[in-house]
Amino acid sequence: MQRTKHMTERMQQRGISQTIVDIVLAEGDWAQDGERFHVTRKHIDEVDRVLRRYLKELDRLRRRGGASVVIDGEVEITTYFNA
């Protein structure tokens, strides 16, 4: 996506990183006015809960030495911890 000089200047002035812009575009919704994309505090809290749960499970997976899932085509057959 192209960026205007105005956008670049405002990002610098306001301390808004490219990562923040990426998050708003990935997680946000069109505002009711239909002119801007935004992300609300409520949505941020929900994403935060999901990511914390994901990281918790990832840590558990690391402690157990990883895991495997056996599949056949589109069917999940079994799963087990590697260690």
Mean pLDDT of the chain: 95
Mean pLDDT of 59-75: 97
Over 90: is that where the pLDDT of 83 sits? Answer: no
Over 90: is that where the pLDDT of 1 sits? Answer: no
> How far apart are alpha carbons 25 and 54 in whole angstroms?
21
Place of tokens 């079994």: 78
How much of the chain, in percent, has pLDDT values that exceed 90?
89
